[in-house]
Structure 1
C-alpha cells in the first residue's frame, strides 16, 4: 500500500448530505448533487468531487453521515438542495485506489488497520475524504479511481 502524506488547504464546496450505509447514502447523495450541478451549470474543468465520510465503523450503519460535494468558487451562490460547507484542510495520508465502488470499504480498512498502526501517526477528528478522479456515476460493476484521504493530527 503506497501512502503519501500531503498538506491540503480548506476547500469551499456545495454539499448534499444523506444518512445511512455508505453503499446506499453515497449514490443517493451523488444523484441529488449531480442534478444540482446540472441545474446550476456548476461543472468546470476545475471542479473537484469529494465524498465526506463523517462516521467511523462504531456508528451504526443506518446513522452514518455522507456528504457528496463539489468544489465551488468563493463568489458562487449556493442555494436549493445544496448547502455551503468548507472541507477542512490539514495533513492527510493519501492513498489512490482503483476498483469498484464496493471495494472502497476494504481499501479504507487497509488504510486504518494496516498502514496507520505502523505509521506513527493518529487520525484527526475530521471526516475521511474520497476524491473521485474518474467519472462520479456510481455503478456496482464500474472501476473508479479514488483518492482516499485520512486526516491526521499534527505531530
Structure 2
C-alpha cells in the first residue's frame, strides 16, 4: 500500500447525490455521473472522479447518509442545470492508493491511523474522499484521501 501526503486544490465539481445506506447505491450514483460525463465528453485519461461520503454511518441513521459521486470540472465549464454543482475545499490529505476491494479498504483503515499519529497529524473536519484519476476506476484501484492537520 502506497501512502503519501498531498495538498489538494479547491475543486469545482459536478455531482450526483445518493441518500440512503452506503453500499451498492453508491456505485449506481457513480454510474449515473459517468453517463452524464460521457454525454458531455468529460471522461478522459486526466479526469478526476471523487466519491464523497458526507456522513458518518456510526452517528447518522443509514437512511439519511449522503454520498456524492463527483467529477472535477474546470472553472470555464459552463453552468449546467442538468446536474448539481459545488466545490470541495482543498487542503492537506493523506493519500493511500489501494486495490478497490473490501479487504484492501479495511487494511488501509488499519494502517492510515497509525500513519497519521506517527506523522504528527490528526484528521481534519472535512469529508474523506475516494479519488479515481483516469482509468483507476476501471482497473479497480482508488485513492483514499483523508483530510489532516498537524497535531
Q: What interval of TM-score do these two structures reach, taking the shorter chain for normalisation? A: 0.7 to 0.9
* Deviation by residue 1:74-117 (Cα, 9 ceiling, x = unmatched): 111242442111121110011111143x3465145325554344
Task: Give 2:94's aligned residue.
Answer: 93
Which stretches in structure 1 are left out of the alignment for 5+ residues? Answer: 138-142
Task: Give 1:33's aligned residue.
Answer: 33
Task: Give 1:16's aligned residue.
Answer: 16
* Deviation by residue 1:27-48 (Cα, 9 ceiling, x = unmatched): 1211211121122222233311
Using a 3 Å threshold, how does the CA distance of structure 1 residues 118 and 61 change in structure 2: closer, same or farther?
farther
In structure 2, distance between residues paired with 1:14 and 1:113: 30
Instruction: Find out whether 1:124 has 2:120 as its counterpart.
Output: no
Deviates more, 1:61-70 or 1:40-49: 40-49
Task: Give 2:141's aligned residue.
Answer: 145
Q: CA RMSD in A?
A: 2.4
Deviates more, 1:65-74 or 1:16-25: 16-25
Task: Answer 1 or 2: which has greater strand percent.
Answer: 2
SS in 1 for 2:74: coil
Task: Give 1:77's aligned residue.
Answer: 78
For normalisation by structure 1, the TM-score amounts to: 0.80
* Deviation by residue 1:123-147 (Cα, 9 ceiling, x = unmatched): 111110111243535xxxxx61111
